[in-house]
Amino acid sequence: MQTTNKNSVQRRHHATILPATRITHAFERAQNEERGILIPYFMCGYPSAAQSIELVLAAATGGADIIELGMPFSDPLADGATIQHAGHVALERGMTVNGCLEIARRVASQCAVPLLFMGYYNPILAYGLERFCQEAAASGVCGFIIPDLPTEEALPLQQAANQHGLALIFLVPPTTSDDRIAQIVKTATNGPGGFLYCVSLTGVTGSRSAISTHLRSFITRVRGYTKDHNLPLVVGFGLSTPEHIAEVTNYAEGAVVGSALVNLIDQHPESQQVEAVKKYIESLRKR
């Protein structure tokens, strides 16, 4: 009886925690361990729906702190050729918004790593903002990254996300003016949890051999606007090696790896992809 009561209390406590709070807890754990957050990106449905679930779970086993689930879209303006290729294959093989929600559900039922949807606004708008947020929260998702949604048009989605305890995370490119950074920070702090996604380079996603020499000064500039808000900074676009992760997490709270994972998946037969992803994530975490 005591065990049953204890489990019931734990379930009720878990239910009262906002999904976005799990993002904050991930950053707090990493800070306590004196390291940066590692956020790998996987395209839902690539190379297949079933295999994408296994790859995400492999990343969780390898030590990913948060995982981005890409939602394929026919006009992915911010994506480079590698992510575009993955999205095109996923769409050709029938991946939909419902399919992405199902993948999130399957992953969340097997691991505790916070999940983020990264996708474009049109499919979400067509699905229905309230319906999408409700079903995303029920599927174990903690927040969204929508690269083509400017702060001026973000209020309807942010309000729907807030109602379900979800974070709406905004991108900050290196060309952003100081006034606009201040506006993005103000909007970002209207919701629970989350972080700022600082784009490491001008242009689209894709692995690069070297990190921009201006990245550190850009992060310092953004930090001037976030330091009073306890809003973590994460760097993405172009990161691919353990050395990249080690460098970036010297001055930012986290790093995202995306295109490099798609390339890694493409370099291995399906029977070897899960182990390859797990070892790659482990190698990034060790740095």
Catalytically active residues are 68, 79
107's tokens: 């992953």
**Phi/psi at 238 (5° precision):** 90, -5
Distances (CA, A) of 181 to 85, 110, 166: 31, 37, 22
Angle, alpha carbons 136-275-238 (nearest 5°): 65
198's tokens: 């600082």
Measured distance CA(210)–CA(247) in Å, rounded: 11
Q: Is 220 helix (H, G, I), strand (E, B) or coil?
A: helix
Strand residues in 93-195 grouped as ranges (E): 115-118, 141-145, 167-172
How many angstroms separate the most distant Cα atoms in the chain?
61
Measured distance CA(285)–CA(279) in Å, rounded: 10
Angle, alpha carbons 233-120-175 (nearest 5°): 45
Strands 167-172 and 141-145: parallel
Asked if 195 contacts 234 with a C-beta cutoff of 8 angstroms, the reply is yes
